[in-house]
Structure 1
């Protein structure tokens, strides 16, 4: 009985299960190859496969920028400020002929009428500019550095900054003399305030400022005689005089009237003598007398500074 059972068991093919396993593996392998037709029949030395693989590698390498290139954009720290050694500004005047006396007077008035920025910075700039004109650039540079002034281009006319980032603008005539400076003979002509941009020649006769003022007053009177101005065309300007503690002076002028009209009315209202000249400043800028307030950025209701200056003898 036992031997018959053993014979029955031994009569089975012992390799049946392994055959089934090999068959299953073959089916899986065939199905895998069937889903990848691109690699079917392709050996390791197949030219098409080699070209496709090399192409994919090159695309992957070029699609990613190098790490060093990405870091190059952040090479300069945000806290750093561009600063260049100062140099003398060279220029040629095209709008007017400057004499030495006129330039000296213009520079004195410029630094006397600064109402914005730090006074110690303006004082340092004034001294440094004087040293630059005399040729002592090293000492001028040391003063600029000691004051904490940054000059991004090295040219003061392009603007400079203090430690707080405030901008200080300096006109060309303040920084250096023009290359075509004229040699004045006899007395210096008194230039009408606010007309620094007007063209003059050496042969032009100097007109007295008071005569100019009287002439313009006559013109304004004739204009007003032709008809009363509409109230909508009038503006009230509050002026604060620099030679006194107050009160402020309120002047009414037409919107289309020039700053020169405002100057004369302030001189009359403040009882200023002929020994003084008046300049109007707004937001740190000296206004031109031959233009209107509105054309130079003044807003209604804003205060203007009336700078009372001693007329040079």
Structure 2
């Protein structure tokens, strides 16, 4: 943890005689708060969100160390004001809490009881290698997916009927568009198709690039049996097959009457 608190500042007694014009002779050297913020580099590139989380973690746990909570709160308020370029407010907070700054920085300071407070550098300034987080409307996010659509490939599709086929597709195509292509090719209504990849149901608005499908991967298509039952099967086929053995026996005896019986 970057914020440790010492119970006593070494050399405090030796410097008490010097006094200070800023702290009303409270004792100890006290410099005005410097406007310049420290420059430092993180061990790894840090995003703004990671920096906020790191700071929040410190301020949440800092009062658990030795020291007074009201001083920790004052230091946090002063650090926030200083980062917002409000130097006068930060100085007023420090003075109001009777905080002594031997070096003119919040990195090391003391309260009027002699307790030492140390703030980590990441609470005082962002690192020089801070990564800006992109917003959703960042134009730099748009062009990349627009390049892929122009490259077409043969998409492998496996129907629940056991049929394998290929569709001409691009990574920008939506599942709804591919359903219509399958309907035109195999006469299977788009509403009776359910597309799955990696065990997930693909909605009509899903694009192939969102599924991260690669070459030679197969998309499963479950076809509703109702889409095949009507057009594929003839209504007379079940009646002509099953009764054939029984209709053969009376046929010789009723040759003359057969036309009249069928018409009836």
Q: Which bracket does the TM-score occupy, shorter chain normalised?
A: 0.3 to 0.5
With normalisation by structure 2, the TM-score equals 0.39
Taking structure 1 as the reference length, what is the TM-score of the superposition? 0.34
Decide which structure has the larger Cα Rg and report it. 1
